[in-house]
Structures are given as structure tokens and as C-alpha cells.
């Protein structure tokens, strides 16, 4: 490709809307253009990079035995009503009506559509297992579209769905997909980590996320410094801290005027924070049931764990007026004497063993001291409902837990019979008995992965693409457009790369060399070939973008040298 003819417009200034580096660089290098919030056009350079990520995904999915299909974006509401998700998807689902006022969704994901295909076509165990995937535009009306391609409202996803006659078959395919995904991320040259993730009500280790490690990541990953335990903070667990044995003292209600916050309780009553318990009042937004969640004063309630414990899709803290209706006063709520007819007590497993803790007195300006679980109150449910903190101990090996930021770029999930049951995807087993299929689903955010790659590969001058994804691998530049020998050599070298089918760009614009270099560094070609003063001798300068290293190479060796370097960079 000749840059003089190529459609690319780089920007000097960073557009104000861009907060993270990938967004800034994608805009500045002329790879994408914003149309509306979370909606982008891919310009030629950006599309080329996107297609390369896509090609790697396709190759690895095909190699793993999955078969590519292409499902519609437009999906009838009836199907989503069958699975129950027409209501539960809420505002994230883009909905439209056709001319007959029939309702449709713009697919945010395709479990319903793919299950509908399979339930009609497959009736025998002989046709299972089966893994179908597609690379498709998805629509999600995100609450906060941001960070450019990282959280769009229209984005490219690979989504795969597998169907099985039994759990063992699903487990095997899950492993197969994990390996395939690992290869995809490795080939993209990403530093990533596979972590345990929330698996909703299904539980178990059937949900794993592929996180690209980057400061700008929206997710927090908890990992063990000593073993390979790693989990999204949404689901991470820790060992329950061991407590000193002590004698239970007499329950004592004390005045605590205006002492509502844990910090103040600790100070006013002169107790360690490890011996305080706070009560958080939650409501199940589906059933309206009320819950009192008890947790150590220095911990926070993990709402995802809470949702899974009570098996709902949404919870919220009670409002002041809702608290008033229950005669509860914020800051002074506690389990002793709580009205368990109206609310269910859930205790975090870590508080059960605390001897003589404080808790709200259920009366304005009072707290209980020396509260003991079992003697003074009991919880209907005791479970892990806390958010793990850095420095806690690993529940596997006792090592120290630490944290890192990650960009969730892939997700593999055992769905079990969630959709096959509600949509009736059944088959006849060996004995001719009707059974519900087991399902798995697998997704990679193709566009998000491209952005994540830039988050990890950049410097003050611009993007540093790995050869596997770079829109163009080599840029050839005549140092002086007026020097005929340099221009001719550049043409020659350019054609050599073309002949070898290596994506090459010739910067044949009538511009100063410094200007060309700036653009080249911004766009991030892994290799730059400059035809300059030694052109007459057939010698070019080869510069490696990632290291800044420059080599002098004969025009006859330049292609083979680049080919060799491509293995590394």
C-alpha cells in the first residue's frame, strides 16, 4: 500500500473524550472514528488490525473443532420471553419494533437463537457434542460506554456455544476451549491471566475469565503470591482469619451518642475493628424480601456473592424511608432483637467465631457490646458474603493475596441446562430416553482485545503493534523524496515485501522525514525500513519499533531479516 493513496488521517492533539491510552491512540492514529457514544467506525488501518485478531480467533476455533455459523443480529422478542430474559436483561438490551409493532432485540448475545436452532435440528445423542461459533456484532446499551473500543454499545464478539449429552462431555469441551483461548491470547502477544469468575447460581468452577493485565482494567483480580489461585474480586474467597479464644462476656447495651460509623465505634468504645460487626440492610429487587447482612466492620459486602446466595438478579440497599418502616436507624442496626419475621439474617462466615463483638443496639445512639453469635442471635444463612481484601490469606495454600487490574477479554462458561431446559433443547439418549442437553458458552471481545493489546503495547510516541496484529508490518520510507536513488530503492524494497506477502506500507508522501517518522511511530509499524544516504550502495536502515534498535542491512537481506525478527516482535 502507498501511503499517498491510503485513507488515514492522524491527529496531533488527543481528542478530549479519550481517557485511556488505547482510546487516545486509536483516535490519534486514525484507526477508528466515533459516531455516537460507544459506537465507532473502523477506518482502513483499524479494520486491518481488527481482522487480524479475528483471523487468529477463527483459526484457533476451527482448529479446536468448532464450526462457524452466522446468526442474525435481529432477534424476535418471543424467543427471549421463552428463556425469561426479555425481562431480566433490562435496559442493557436494545429493543426495536418492526412496522407491525412486533418487538425485536438487537442481539447482546446469542444463547437463545443458537438453542432455538439446535432444538429443532438435533434429536439424538449421535449428533452430540457440537460446538458452533460466530464472529458477530453485538449490541449492548451499556450504562457507561467508555474507553473507546473497550466498552462499546456496538462491538465485535466471537461467541461459541457447545451442546452435550452429559456433563463429562461439557467438562472436556470447556478444557478444549480454555486451551484454544489460551492460544489466541498467546498469539496476540498479550500478557494475560485466566481467573475464576462469577458463575451465578450455577456455582462451581464453571466460569473463567481471560484478563489482559493493565492498569486501566475495570476489573480487580485477586491472586495468590504463593500458588496459582486467581479470581475476579467478584468471586474471590479467602481463608477465614483465625481468632484468639476468649471468654464470652455479658451482653451490654451502651450509649453511643452520634457514634454511627464503624470508625467512630472503634474510637468511642475503644475496641479493635476486628471485633465490630456491621449490619447492612438489603432488599431483593425481584421479590422485595428484606435481608440483614452481617459483616465485620472493616469488610464490605460483595453484592454478587449476595445475589447468588439469595438467588436473585438484583439487590439494593434499603433507602432511609424503607429503614424507617422497619423501625431501623442507620448506624445503629444490629442482629440482637432484630425482627426476623420481616427480615432474614445472613451472616458472613467470618463473624461466627468472633467472641464479644459490638453491634448496633437497634435504638438511636446505642450499641451492644460483647455480642456472641449463637448465644445472642442466629442467622438463617451463614455464607461467604464479603469482598476479599489484599493481604488476606489464600484459602488454598495460606499464601498472601494480592491484587491486579485486568481487562476482561474472554469468558468461558458452563451453562449447564439453563437455556436448554427453558427452551426445550432435548435429545434421545442411548436408551431412547429424552434428556435435556448440557451447554457451554465461550466469548472473546474481539474489538476489546484489540484495544487491550494497545493498553499493553505503547510508548510516548504511539502504538507498538506485535507483528501478529499490526495492520502493516513494515513501513518503507525514502529519506529524501527528491533523491531519485532513495526513491527507487524504496520502491524495490517495497515490492520485495509485497512479493513475500508481508503487509507493507510505502510512505511515498512528499513530506519531511521527521514528519513521516512521527506518523510511523504513532501508527506503530513493528519495523521501519529507511532508504537514505547509503541507497547507492544498496544498504538500508532497519529500525525495530519496540526496542528502538537500528540495523544496517543490505537490500538483499532485508526481507529475510524482517521475517526472522517477526518471530520475536
CB of 191 to ligand ATP, least distance (A): 16
**Residues facing 346 on adjacent strands:** 293, 381
CB of 445 to ligand ATP, least distance (A): 2
Our finding on whether 140 is near ligand ATP (CB under 6 A) is: yes
CB of 155 to ligand ATP, least distance (A): 4
Our finding on whether 60 is near ligand ATP (CB under 6 A) is: no
C-alpha 461/C-alpha 482 separation (Å) is: 27
Contacts of 565 (CB under 8 A, 6+ apart): 526, 527, 544
User: What character string, x for contact with ligand ATP (CB under 6 A) and - otherwise, covers 109-138?
Assistant: x-----------------------------
**Residues facing 247 on adjacent strands:** none
Our finding on whether 58 is near ligand ATP (CB under 6 A) is: no
Of 98-106, 297-305, 406-414, 556-564: span binding ligand ATP (CB under 6 A): 406-414
State the DSSP string of 322-391.
Answer: HHHHTT--TT---STT--TTTEEEEEETTTTT-SSEEEE-SSTTEEEEEE-BTTTB--SEEE--BPP-TT
Among 24, 448, 543, 545, binds ligand ATP (CB under 6 A): 448
Find out whether 233 and 219 touch, Cβ atoms under 8 Å. Answer: yes
CB nearer ligand ATP, residue 191 or residue 396? 191
CB of 409 to ligand ATP, least distance (A): 5
C-alpha cell at 289: 424480601
Our finding on whether 3 is near ligand ATP (CB under 6 A) is: no
C-alpha 367/C-alpha 129 separation (Å) is: 59
Q: Which phi and psi (to 5°) does residue 20 adopt?
A: -100, 160
- Which residue has its beta carbon closest to ligand ATP? 445
Tally Cβ neighbours within 10 Å of residue 547.
11
CB of 98 to ligand ATP, least distance (A): 25
Burial class (CB within 10 angstroms; exposed 0-12, middle 13-18, buried 19+) of 277 = buried
CB nearer ligand ATP, residue 118 or residue 195? 195
CB nearer ligand ATP, residue 131 or residue 447? 447
State the DSSP string of 67-122.
Answer: EE----SEEEHHHHHHHTHHHHTGGGSEEEE-TT--EEEE-S--HHHHHHHHHHH-
SS3 504: strand
C-alpha 227/C-alpha 401 separation (Å) is: 10
Our finding on whether 410 is near ligand ATP (CB under 6 A) is: yes
Among 22, 409, 420, 496, binds ligand ATP (CB under 6 A): 409
CB of 407 to ligand ATP, least distance (A): 8
Ranges of beta strands (E only) in 217-306 are 219-224, 230-232, 252-255, 277-284, 290-296
Among 148, 152, 297, 478, binds ligand ATP (CB under 6 A): 152
C-alpha cell at 482: 527528491
Our finding on whether 302 is near ligand ATP (CB under 6 A) is: no
Our finding on whether 211 is near ligand ATP (CB under 6 A) is: no
Of 150-158, 237-245, 341-349, 494-502: span binding ligand ATP (CB under 6 A): 150-158
CB nearer ligand ATP, residue 206 or residue 445? 445
**Residues facing 156 on adjacent strands:** 137
CB of 151 to ligand ATP, least distance (A): 4
Among 348, 408, 507, 519, binds ligand ATP (CB under 6 A): 408
User: From residue 330, how far is each of 159, 281, 318, 384, 514 by CA, in Å?
Assistant: 45, 9, 10, 24, 64
Our finding on whether 235 is near ligand ATP (CB under 6 A) is: no
Our finding on whether 157 is near ligand ATP (CB under 6 A) is: yes
User: What is the size of the binding site for ligand ATP (CB under 6 A)?
Assistant: 15
Of 42-50, 71-79, 345-353, 441-449: span binding ligand ATP (CB under 6 A): 441-449
Our finding on whether 447 is near ligand ATP (CB under 6 A) is: yes
Our finding on whether 414 is near ligand ATP (CB under 6 A) is: no
Q: Which phi and psi (to 5°) does residue 278 adopt?
A: -110, 155
Among 445, 462, 471, 524, binds ligand ATP (CB under 6 A): 445
Our finding on whether 217 is near ligand ATP (CB under 6 A) is: no
Residues 84-113 that bind ligand ATP (CB under 6 A): 109
Of 185-193, 238-246, 373-381, 405-413: span binding ligand ATP (CB under 6 A): 405-413
C-alpha 59/C-alpha 172 separation (Å) is: 20
Our finding on whether 524 is near ligand ATP (CB under 6 A) is: no
Q: How are the residues of the chain apportioned to helix, strand and coil, as percentages rounded to the nearest 5?
A: 30, 30, 40
Interface residue list for ligand ATP (CB under 6 A)? 109, 140, 142, 151-152, 155, 157, 408-411, 443, 445, 447-448
Amino acid at each position: 500500500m502507498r501511503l499517498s493513496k491510503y485513507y488515514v488521517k492522524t491527529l496531533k492533539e488527543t481528542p478530549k473524550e479519550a481517557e485511556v491510552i488505547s482510546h487516545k491512540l486509536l483516535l490519534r492514529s486514525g484507526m477508528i472514528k466515533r459516531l455516537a457514544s460507544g459506537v465507532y467506525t473502523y477506518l482502513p488501518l483499524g479494520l486491518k488490525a481488527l481482522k487480524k485478531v479475528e483471523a487468529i480467533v477463527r483459526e484457533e476455533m476451527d482448529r479446536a473443532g468448532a464450526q462457524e455459523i452466522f446468526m442474525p443480529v435481529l432477534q424476535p422478542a418471543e424467543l427471549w420471553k421463552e428463556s425469561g430474559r426479555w425481562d431480566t436483561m433490562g435496559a442493557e438490551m436494545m429493543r426495536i419494533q418492526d412496522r407491525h409493532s412486533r418487538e425485536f432485540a438487537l442481539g447482546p448475545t446469542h444463547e437463545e437463537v443458537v438453542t432455538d436452532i439446535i432444538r429443532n435440528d438435533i434429536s439424538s445423542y449421535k449428533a452430540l457434542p457440537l460446538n458452533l461459533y460466530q464472529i458477530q456484532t453485538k449490541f449492548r446499551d451499556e450504562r457507561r460506554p467508555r474507553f473507546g473500543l473497550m466498552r462499546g454499545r456496538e462491538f465485535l464478539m466471537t461467541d461459541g456455544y457447545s451442546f452435550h449429552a452429559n456433563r463429562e462431555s461439557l467438562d472436556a469441551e470447556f478444557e478444549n476451549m480454555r486451551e484454544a483461548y489460551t492460544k489466541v491470547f498467546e498469539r496476540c502477544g498479550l500478557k494475560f491471566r485466566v481467573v475464576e469468575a462469577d458463575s451465578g447460581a450455577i456455582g462451581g468452577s464453571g466460569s473463567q475469565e481471560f484478563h489482559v493485565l493493565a492498569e486501566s482494567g475495570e476489573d480487580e483480580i485477586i491472586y495468590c503470591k504463593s500458588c496459582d489461585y486467581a479470581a475476579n474480586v467478584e468471586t474471590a474467597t479467602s481463608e477465614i482469619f483465625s481468632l484468639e479464644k476468649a471468654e464470652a462476656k455479658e451482653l451490654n447495651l451502651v450509649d453511643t451518642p452520634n457514634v454511627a460509623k464503624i470508625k467512630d465505634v472503634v474510637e468511642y468504645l475503644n475496641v479493635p475493628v476486628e471485633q465490630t460487626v456491621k449490619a447492612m440492610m438489603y432488599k431483593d429487587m425481584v421479590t422485595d424480601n428484606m435481608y440483614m447482612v452481617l459483616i465485620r466492620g472493616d469488610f464490605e459486602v460483595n453484592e454478587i456473592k449476595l445475589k447468588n446466595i439469595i438467588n436473585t438478579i438484583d439487590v439494593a440497599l434499603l433507602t432511609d424511608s424503607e429503614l424507617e418502616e422497619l423501625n431501623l436507624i442507620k448506624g445503629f442496626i444490629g442482629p440482637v432483637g432484630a425482627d426476623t419475621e420481616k427480615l432474614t439474617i445472613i451472616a458472613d462466615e467470618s463473624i461466627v467465631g468472633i467472641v464479644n463483638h459490638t453491634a448496633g443496639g437497634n435504638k438511636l445512639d446505642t450499641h451492644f457490646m460483647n455480642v456472641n453469635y449463637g448465644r445472642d442471635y442466629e442467622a438463617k444463612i451463614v455464607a461467604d458474603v464479603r469482598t476479599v481484601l489484599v493481604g488476606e490469606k489464600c484459602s488454598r495454600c495460606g499464601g498472601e493475596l494480592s491484587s491486579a487490574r485486568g481487562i476482561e477479554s474472554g469468558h468461558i462458561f458452563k451453562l449447564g441446562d439453563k437455556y436448554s431446559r427453558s427452551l426445550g433443547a432435548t435429545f434421545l439418549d442411548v436408551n431412547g430416553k429424552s434428556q435435556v442437553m448440557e451447554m457451554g458458552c465461550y466469548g472473546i471481545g474481539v474489538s476489546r482485545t484489540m484495544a487491550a493489546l494497545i493498553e499493553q503495547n505503547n510508548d510516548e510516541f504511539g502504538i507498538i503493534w506485535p507483528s501478529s496484529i499490526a495492520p502493516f508490518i513494515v513501513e518503507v520510507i525514502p529519506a529524501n523524496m527528491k533523491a531519485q536513488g532513495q526513491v527507487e530503492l524504496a520502491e524495490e524494497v517495497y515490492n520485495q515485501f509485497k512479493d513475500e506477502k508481508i503487509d507493507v506500507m510505502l510512505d511515498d508522501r512528499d513530506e519531511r522525514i521527521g514528519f513521516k517518522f512521527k506518523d510511523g511511530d504513532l501508527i506503530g509499524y513493528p519495523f521501519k525500513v529507511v532508504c537514505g544516504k547509503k541507497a547507492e550502495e544498496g544498504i538500508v536502515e532497519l529500525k525495530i519499533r519496540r526496542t528502538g534498535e537500528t540495523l544496517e542491512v543490505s537490500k538483499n537481506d532485508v526481507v529475510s531479516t524482517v521475517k526472522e525478527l517477526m518471530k520475536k516482535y
